[in-house]
Structure 1
């Protein structure tokens, strides 16, 4: 049975300030760097065979914490970048609601935002393609860790599992430096083993039925 760990990056100042990051290249802050180190100490016990990361700095630096413990090199894939949020990037959600009320309302209802904001199907497709290629880097029964972003992780995992949008919306957002553990075998395909797991998680959160 092979294993794929889809890992959200550590905290940034924009996370702390509730600003939309999207594909803006915001670095980890001190909290995020420590989160990455703490999480890496758990993930190294899974004996990863490969590490793949978004090329945005916050994900790449998160992956680097695990690379430092394993001695593995990091492969970078632009398809693992966060969702592109267009004019929302750099704004707080309060500012988004004030400046783009119609788009914000559609976003709250789980509908396509429109405008320059990347569609969820497009996001899911590109991230899922990257996850498939990342998983192929490990030998049978091996483990690959992928460092990416919150929206990218959820949508990519949902596409990989073949979940419909309504089911995917039941998943809460990944916390900073938490991950999804997926397993794969020939008979059952991809399955969720754990969701939103991290350094300060008491127990894995089961996926929806």
Structure 2
């Protein structure tokens, strides 16, 4: 038995998002904008009548999940496998700081290297972790139900690719999720399919960030 729909929801804005600082596993809370984003999105997601809310255990995701759980009358289940990609020695730095401190590894990352060094979690490991966590969330409920999974930009993208069975090298072609926006996966007989990507309220959106400026590390 498993969910018929998975809604993969990225957390709201943080001060480090605003500063374009690499978060990774750093435990950064939502800022006032992020709290407003979560409060704006929560009624839209509650209207889907989710049967469960599963969240990364990092504060920015958990605070986002709490906004929905309170609205939907649900408890939040946490799963550390839903944490963001670990960005090793890049965590806490802006991209200019990363380029200055680690130019060779940054060049490898820009070129699409799945394991660029600096103690960054390899991309195939992130894909497998996200896929496993999403599948486990789906298995929490009965057929026909909706599960909302609250996670982070990189984990959302790679976990979705993993659940869809995409090869690792294809996943980076997906764009990043904006803060407090979501992706919808629907289960069919043949497996999961992508039904919607990067949808949600357009108000209170963070400014657009060019993909080459920083990783999906928040």
| Smaller-chain TM-score bracket | over 0.9
More deviation in 34-43 or 110-119?
A: 110-119
| Secondary structure at 2:74 match in 1 | coil
In structure 1, which of residues 125, 129, 136 is the aligned counterpart of residue 128 of structure 2? 125
Q: Give the corresponding residue for 2:60.
A: 58
In structure 1, which of residues 33, 36, 42 is the aligned counterpart of residue 35 of structure 2? 33
Q: Distance in 2 between matches of 1:116 and 1:75?
A: 29
1:90 aligns with 2:92: yes
Aligned residues: 200
User: 1:124, CA displacement in angstroms?
Assistant: 1.1
Contact conserved, 2:124 with 2:168, CA < 8 A, in 1?
Answer: no
Structure-to-structure mapping, 1:146-157, within 5 angstroms: 146-157=149-160
1:37-83 deviation per Cα after TM superposition (whole angstroms, max 9, x unaligned): 11111101110000000000000000000001011000000000001
In structure 2, which of residues 131, 135, 138 is the aligned counterpart of residue 135 of structure 1? 138
User: 1:166, CA displacement in angstroms?
Assistant: 3.5
In structure 2, which of residues 143, 163, 166 is the aligned counterpart of residue 163 of structure 1? 166
Moved over 4 A (4+): none
Q: Give the corresponding residue for 1:109.
A: 111
Q: Which runs of 5+ in 1 are unaligned?
A: 202-209
In structure 2, which of residues 10, 21, 24 is the aligned counterpart of residue 22 of structure 1? 24
Q: Give the corresponding residue for 1:205.
A: none
Contact conserved, 2:127 with 2:168, CA < 8 A, in 1?
Answer: no
1:181 aligns with 2:202: no
Q: Which runs of 5+ in 2 are unaligned?
A: 204-218
Q: Distance in 2 between matches of 1:179 and 1:18?
A: 20
1:153-173 deviation per Cα after TM superposition (whole angstroms, max 9, x unaligned): 101111111112342122111
RMSD: 1.1
Give TM-score scaled by structure 1 length.
Answer: 0.93
